[in-house]
Chain A
């Protein structure tokens, strides 16, 4: 079955830029969405359709993608950005996929 692969953990210095990636064959066909989840809270949609931001999401969050890789970039990371991030897409059979998640530490 299709999968979406994410690095388990990434760190970034306060105020610096970090890129979180998601890899999978389905991303050649379907856009990725990205979700931020802070401890004890429900996930929040931060990017959809590869690079669109829902209202209320800071513009330091951006999305991109090429080939089998989707990326979430945080430009000027803040302490409050520390969270788990999940990518999501579909595959050709219609199955809904989530990546395993990336734990972001802001140092």
Chain B
């Protein structure tokens, strides 16, 4: 069974930093593209970032480009999202998401974690 468990969320002041982690199990982590998708309270889904299976290609939404960095450690089956220069509009549940396709990216979000809440407020 695929399991994705996010951690690292919490309350941070505007301009601050936070590092999210996602521990993956139940599948061959190193063979799948991984994504972060977020959802502000009471709002819809918003794409954040993607990293391919071996970590040498990354993609970001314009809203986070230059502030967030996605990375992965395939030896530890872990995905990370380093978030800096945080703004109030970054307040959201951040989901770790597995791509549907083995190997390359399908850009279809197959399995989702339960999410971790990031709150940016003074």
Q: Is this pair of chains taken from one and the same complex? A: yes
Residues of A within 8 A of B (CB): 33, 35, 37, 42-45, 48-49, 54, 84, 86, 88, 90, 94-101
Choice from A35, A48, A95 contacting B61 with Cβ under 8 Å: A95
- Secondary structure dominating the interface of B: strand
Task: Please judge, given known A-B contacts A94-B59, A95-B61, A96-B61, whether A45 and B110 are in contact too, CB under 8 Å.
Answer: yes
Contacts A88-B108, A96-B50, A100-B44 supplied; 9 other A-B pairs, CB < 8 Å: A42-B113, A42-B114, A43-B112, A49-B108, A54-B110, A86-B45, A95-B61, A96-B61, A98-B44
Report chain A residues within 8 Å CB of B95.
42-43
B27 at the interface (CB under 8 A from A): no
User: How many residues on the B side are at the interface (Cβ–Cβ under 8 A)?
Assistant: 21
- 7 inter-chain pairs at a CB distance below 8 angstroms, sorted by A residue, are A42-B112, A45-B108, A48-B100, A48-B110, A96-B107, A98-B44, A101-B45
Say whether B109 contacts A45, CB under 8 Å.
Answer: yes
Q: Judging by beta carbons under 8 Å apart, are A101 and B44 in contact?
A: yes
How far is it, in angstroms, between the C-alpha of A42 and the C-alpha of B109 when the chains are bound? 11
Complex Cα–Cα for A84 and B109 (A):
16
Complex alpha-carbon distance, A99 and B44, angstroms: 8
Is B46 at the interface (CB under 8 A from chain A)?
Answer: yes
Do A98 and B47 form a contact, CB below 8 Å, given A43-B112, A48-B108? yes
